[in-house]
Structure formats: structure tokens, C-alpha cells
């Protein structure tokens, strides 16, 4: 049995404002550089107004529909008490809570075990561009 190893890293992502930003290639490149064949990758978005998701990566309409749904679920005109950074502040926190800030993905045969149409995305919930960080932890052999 191979000895377990672990690796950690940070992925920095520039967002254009509210959007699903594809991060799969960057994550896969980092994983490949660790030289492991089997294991578990954990990702953590280090923010409270952005999140992570695994979602359809072939039809751009899916991303548009998901963002529109999130806007309906947590609208900017929701009369929130917390608006320290503007009207999109509290809705961004709600959207991040609904979509989550962590993901765990098995590593099988040196590759992330994602399905054919699954992509990894950082979801930016704020209207303005931001600098985001994702912590990466890979445990495997």
C-alpha cells in the first residue's frame, strides 16, 4: 500500500463581477503537479460573498439561468439590515450560503473524478470584480 501524502495550495481567481468563473483547468493543473494517482481533493472558497459549485459546463444558458435564479431567491431590494458594502452585499452572503463554499472531489487514476458535463466554478455573487482565493488540499498517494 502506498504511503499517503498531502499537498496544500492557494488558487487566486480574478472575477469580472457576478458570474460563474470556470476554474477546472487551473485546479486540474495544480492536482497534476502534485503527482498523485488516488486521493481526495478538498476546495474551500475563502470568502463569504462568493462560493463554489460543480455544474453543467457545455451549455452557457445553464449559467445564465442559475445566476438569474439566485437573483430571484436573494434580490438586492430585500430590505436587509446588513448593507455595509452596498445593496448587493447581503444578497451575496445569502447566495453563498445557499451554494456552499467547499467541494470534495475524488482523484482516480490521477484525474479528478468529474462527469463528462461537470465543470468546477467559482461563483461570484457581487456585481464588482473581485480577487478571490480558493484553498486546495489534496490527500492521496
pLDDT tens across 24-54, in order?
999 999 999 999 999 999 999 999 999 999 9
Q: How many angstroms separate the Cα of 38 from the Cα of each of 3, 13, 118?
A: 11, 26, 19
Mean local confidence (pLDDT), 53-65? 96
What is the per-residue pLDDT for 1?
Answer: 65
Q: What is the pLDDT of residue 40?
A: 98
pLDDT score, position 2? 80
Instruction: Examine the pLDDT at 75 and tell me if it is beyond 70.
Output: yes
Average pLDDT over residues 55-75: 96
Stretch (H or E) spanning 70: helix 60-73
Give the whole-angstrom CA distance, residue 106 versus residue 104.
7
Through-space distance between the first and last CA atoms of the chain, rounded to whole angstroms: 9
Domain boundary assignment for the chain = 5-140
pLDDT of residue 83: 86
DSSP structure class, residue 75: -
**What local confidence, expressed as pLDDT, does residue 55 receive?**
97
Over 90: is that where the pLDDT of 14 sits?
yes
Whether the Cβ atoms of residue 20 and residue 123 lie closer than 8 Å to each other? yes
What gap in Å lies between CA 103 and CA 82, rounded to an integer?
Answer: 27
Quick one: residue 58, left, alpha or beta (phi over 0 = left, psi -120 to 50 = alpha)? alpha
pTM for the full model?
0.94
As given in the structure block, the three cell numbers for residue 81 are 439590515
**CATH number for the domain whose boundaries are 5-140:** 2.60.120.460
Amino acid at each position: 500500500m502506498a504511503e499517503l501524502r498531502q499537498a496544500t495550495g492557494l488558487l487566486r481567481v480574478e472575477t469580472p463581477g457576478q458570474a460563474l468563473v470556470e476554474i477546472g483547468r487551473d485546479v486540474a493543473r495544480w492536482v497534476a503537479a502534485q503527482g498523485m494517482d488516488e486521493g481526495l481533493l478538498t476546495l474551500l472558497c475563502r470568502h463569504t460573498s462568493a462560493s463554489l459549485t460543480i455544474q453543467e459546463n457545455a451549455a452557457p444558458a445553464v449559467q445564465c439561468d442559475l445566476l438569474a435564479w439566485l437573483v430571484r431567491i436573494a434580490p438586492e431590494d430585500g430590505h436587509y439590515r446588513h448593507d455595509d458594502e452596498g445593496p448587493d452585499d447581503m444578497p451575496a452572503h445569502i447566495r453563498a450560503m445557499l451554494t456552499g463554499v467547499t467541494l470534495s472531489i475524488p482523484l482516480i487514476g490521477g484525474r479528478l473524478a468529474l462527469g463528462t458535463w461537470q465543470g468546477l466554478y467559482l461563483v461570484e455573487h457581487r456585481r464588482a470584480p473581485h480577487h478571490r482565493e480558493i484553498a486546495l488540499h489534496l490527500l492521496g498517494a
